[in-house]
Every structure is written in C-alpha cells, then in structure tokens.
Amino acid sequence: MKKITAFIGSARKKATYQAIQEFEKNLKQHEEIDFEYVFLSEYNLKFCQGCCQCFEKGEEFCPLKDDRDVLLEKIEHSDGVIFATPSYAFQVSARMKNLLDRFAFMFHRPRFFGKTFTAIVTQTIPVGDNIRKYLENSGANLGFHVTKGCCVWTLDPMTESQRKKLEQKVKKCSERFYKGLIRSKPPVPSLFRLMLFRFGRLGVQHANVRNYDYYYYKDKGWFESDYYYETSLGPIKKLFGYFFDFLGRQFVKHM
C-alpha cells in the first residue's frame, strides 16, 4: 500500500484542509492509500538561527532540538508528499516557509529521489500560481519527482460553480500525482536539472573548505556520476553534461 503524507501550512481546518480532503478522495478512487494529514501548527518547529551547522558539519549538529526530525522521518517513510498552503501575504504561510528553511540543507544534498511530490495552494487573490511554482521548484530541489500541482479559489461563501471548479482542478492534480506515484522508473532529468547538478557538484568539489557537502557527494559517488541517480541520459544529454562541466570549470578558473 502506498503511503502519502500531506503537510498543511494552515492553522485552521478550513479551505486548505478541505482541498486536501478532496485530493485524498480522488486518489483513493485508484487504489487503497495510507493517507496522513500533518498540520504544521501541531508540531514544535523553531525558527532557523542561520548558524550553518547543518551545511558545514551535518544536520545532526543543528542546535535546535524540536520536531524537525519527526517531520523528516514522515517524508522518508512516504511514497508521495503534498505541500499545501493558503496564500499569506503573497507567499506560503510562515509555517510552511519555516519547514523549508529547516530543510534547507537538503537543497545542497537532495535525498528524496523516487518519491512523488505535488503542491496545492488556496487563494482569495490571484497570486497562487507563483506560490505553487515556488513549492514545486522547492520539491524538485529536494530530490522529489514533481507533478504539477494546482491553485484553487476558496472564496467564502463559495458558489456551486466555484465549488465545482475547485473539485475539477483538484481531481486533475490528483490524477497527475497518481501517474507519478505508480511510474516504475525515475524520470530522466531535464537539461536545466542536469545543468544544476553539474554546476553544483563543481562548486562543492572546488570549494575552499572541505565541508559536509563535499564528503556527502564523495560518499554518494556524485563526483563521477552522470546525475544524482542512475539514469539513461542518451547521447545528446551526455554531450550537454560534458558541456556543462566545461562551462563550470571555466567559471571556477575565473573566480
């Protein structure tokens, strides 16, 4: 049975919660799913202090002792993950942003390969698509296979027509997510993702200080690999990979 975890950045069990309930209902039409709701407001997650210990020494050296690892463990034990948030001041909620801040070391050392991700944003003013894209980009940088999320209007009160539009958007979002969930092989990286990997590892390899990132990359074999995980790039992307390596070396020379 697939395990899905929805992380909800709203303190109220209203529009965002209802959108996730609709998502769960649609997802379970395909097969039986173990679906968990994680309300960030119910967890003790302190604000990042910017000490950089997680980057330089490893995440276990973070001085904050709270529920970060509890939340991290929930992702590690999931096949699929949803980040859901209302639009607060034109961005994700503070709770959702804090979660991403506390997971920032994994932007350097992504680890959620093989897991599927999507984002759901609820809005009352038309800014949600930018928030959705931000969450999707964050998911990709954490290593997830990202399927396109959705942004839904949640006016109060909501007309029958508006409610049907919400249901249709969430249904399409859940169908995309399910297709990603059942795929047998990890996706071949786009040229953009390949470029980020090649440039990123050169930055780690040629850094002045051998920090935790360097030893993590070395242990994973990423200094020699085509990409983060085993994949068939094909001849054209292989050539682009070599080209990105060349550009990166030229940049490092002139730093």
For domain 2-182, the CATH architecture is 3-Layer(aba) Sandwich (3.40)
Q: Which tokens sit at 13?
A: 């069990």
> What is the predicted pLDDT for the residue at 123?
84
> What is the predicted pLDDT for the residue at 89?
87
- The full set of domain ranges for the chain reads 2-182, 191-253
199-230 residues labelled b (16+ CB within 10 A) or e (exposed): bbbbebbeeeeebbbbebbeeeebeeebbbee
pLDDT in tens, 170-221: 999 999 999 999 998 889 999 999 999 999 999 998 887 889 999 999 999 9
> What is the predicted pLDDT for the residue at 165?
83
pLDDT of residue 5 exceeding 80, the answer is: yes
Query: In whole angstroms, how far apart are CA 1 and each of 8, 30, 181?
Result: 22, 12, 12
Q: Give me the half-sphere count of Cα atoms (radius 13 Å) on the Cβ side of residue 114.
A: 11
Q: Are 41 and 95 in contact (CB under 8 A)?
A: yes
Q: Length of the chain in residues, anyone?
A: 255
> What is the predicted pLDDT for the residue at 70?
97
Q: Give strand pairing partners of 34.
A: 3
